[in-house]
């Protein structure tokens, strides 16, 4: 069987082909600047909303990659509370969700603090507050002392996909990793994020949770690359979409002699796609923000504000007076007055569809803006 990368002498002296990655690397850096510029043009509340959504997706999707499904609303509420964001309908979380959120926020919001062994141990303990991963007891909050294999297949027919560094080497390898992480400033932070992810996963220093911590380290360095703890895209969300390829590339490059070009190419393309997804979301947030800025002095009551936000966010089905009344918990007469008022202000219009009940939508100019 081919040697693992860590079995080679000076295995962390990684090499790569600059020509193979330069184009996509340039695109990624350009898109980062574009997204940050767009977000800085948003109002404070819209920017908060974008950050809250991106962080929530990152936490939920990073766990889903490992086959664990977290409740979206609980994660969102936990993040909102910790960031001091006032959102309606906060949902109480649980000990495990609070731990996952704590790790992600520590990595992104305090991205400029040194990464220490103690900090990593704190993250790991937060991920496994009971000291168990499912039914299995694990060494929580410390490096593993046992062998680590990634296997699949039935008992007796297991297939070993990867065997990490021997337990007695973990501390030495992690000391070297932490020294590089904290002190090497020769690399662009985006490339450093890609290398850190790969390097950490190769060591696999913990009994469990290595993937989630590795992705948190990625987000930490991406936040550094942007000079901000505000997050506007979800790398973990895109990794989930490409999960099969993610594992294929890791498995292939783990047998290289030090050339990680293929890993860097995949990582940068994945990051680019994550940003493209966010660019579409950003356009929607921008349109809504522009509307509210234009109408900041227009008399709009809370019921109307609620329904207009729902229309901008993608209202499902047809908007009728009865639906308005039900959602806003008011009478049909009040709902009709609300709708008529917005129609007279040129914000809503009646659709061209026939039928007994009138249907309403955002006025023509707003619809055109949404479809751009």
**Quick one: pLDDT at residue 372?**
44
With beta carbons less than 8 A apart as the criterion, state whether 77 and 90 touch. yes
**Quick one: pLDDT at residue 152?**
74
Cα 314 from chain centre: 21
Strands 132-133 and 136-137: antiparallel
pLDDT tens across the length of the chain (372 residues): 689 999 999 999 999 999 999 999 999 999 999 988 888 877 677 788 789 889 999 999 999 999 899 988 799 889 989 999 876 556 677 888 999 999 999 999 999 999 999 999 999 999 999 999 989 999 999 999 999 988 877 777 777 889 999 999 999 999 999 999 999 999 999 999 999 999 999 999 999 999 999 999 999 999 999 999 999 999 999 999 999 999 999 999 999 999 999 999 999 999 999 999 887 776 777 777 788 888 989 999 999 998 998 888 667 678 999 999 999 999 999 999 999 999 999 999 998 775 667 899 988 655 544 444
With beta carbons less than 8 A apart as the criterion, state whether 94 and 272 touch. no
- Cα–Cα distance measured from residue 202 to residue 3, given in angstroms and rounded to the nearest whole number: 13
**Quick one: pLDDT at residue 371?**
47
Angle ∠(208,211,213) on CA atoms, nearest 5: 85
Nearest one of 267, 282, 351, 278 to 317, comparing CA atoms: 351
Given its phi and psi angles, is residue 14 left (phi above 0), alpha (psi -120 to 50 degrees) or beta? beta
With beta carbons less than 8 A apart as the criterion, state whether 59 and 100 touch. yes
Phi, psi of 231 (to 5 degrees): -115, 135
Nearest one of 55, 179, 175 to 107, comparing CA atoms: 55
Tokens of 290: 């522009």
Nearest one of 105, 147, 100, 146 to 125, comparing CA atoms: 100
- Cα–Cα distance measured from residue 364 to residue 321, given in angstroms and rounded to the nearest whole number: 19
- Cα–Cα distance measured from residue 206 to residue 209, given in angstroms and rounded to the nearest whole number: 7
Paired strand residues for 163: 149
Domains parsed from the chain with CATH numbers: 5-287 (1.10.3290.10), 301-371 (1.10.10.10)
For helices 243-253 and 189-203, give the axis angle rounded to 10 degrees. 80
**Quick one: pLDDT at residue 368?**
46
* Residues sharing a CB contact under 8 Å with residue 236, sequence separation 6 or more, in sequence order: 57, 58, 59, 61, 62, 65, 215, 219
């Amino acid at each position: 069987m081919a040697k693992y990368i860590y079995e080679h002498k000076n295995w962390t002296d990684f090499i790569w082909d600059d020509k193979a990655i330069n184009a996509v690397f340039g695109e990624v850096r350009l898109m980062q600047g574009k997204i940050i510029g767009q977000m800085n043009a948003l109002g404070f509340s819209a920017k908060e909303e974008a950050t809250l959504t991106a962080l929530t997706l990152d936490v939920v999707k990073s766990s889903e990659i490992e086959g664990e499904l977290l409740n979206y609303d609980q994660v969102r509420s936990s993040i909102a509370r910790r960031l001091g964001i006032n959102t309606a309908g906060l949902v109480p979380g649980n000990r495990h969700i609070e731990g996952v959120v704590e790790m992600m926020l520590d990595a992104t919001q305090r991205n400029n603090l040194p990464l220490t062994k103690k900090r990593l141990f704190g993250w790991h303990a937060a991920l496994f507050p009971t000291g168990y991963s499912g039914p299995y007891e694990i060494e929580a909050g410390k490096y593993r002392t046992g062998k680590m294999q990634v296997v699949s297949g039935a008992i007796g027919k297991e297939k070993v996909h990867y065997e990490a560094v021997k337990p007695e080497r973990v501390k030495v390898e992690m000391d070297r990793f932490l020294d590089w992480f904290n002190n090497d400033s020769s690399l662009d932070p985006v490339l450093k994020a890609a290398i850190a992810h790969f390097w950490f996963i190769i060591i696999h220093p913990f009994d469990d949770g290595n993937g989630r911590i590795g992705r948190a380290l990625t987000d930490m360095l991406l936040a550094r690359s942007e000079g901000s703890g505000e997050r506007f895209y979800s790398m973990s969300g895109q990794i989930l979409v490409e999960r099969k390829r993610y594992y294929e590339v890791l498995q292939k490059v783990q047998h290289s002699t030090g050339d990680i070009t293929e890993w860097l190419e995949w990582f940068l393309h994945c990051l680019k796609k994550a940003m493209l997804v966010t660019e579409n979301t950003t356009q929607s947030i921008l349109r809504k923000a522009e509307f509210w800025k234009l109408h900041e002095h227009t008399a709009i009551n809370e019921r109307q504000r609620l329904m207009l936000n729902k229309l901008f966010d993608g209202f499902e089905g047809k908007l009728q007076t009865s639906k308005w009344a039900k959602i806003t918990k008011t009478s049909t007469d009040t709902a009709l007055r609300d709708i008529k008022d917005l129609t007279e202000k040129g914000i809503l219009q009646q659709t061209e569809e026939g039928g007994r009940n009138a249907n309403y939508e955002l006025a023509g100019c707003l619809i055109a803006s949404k479809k751009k």
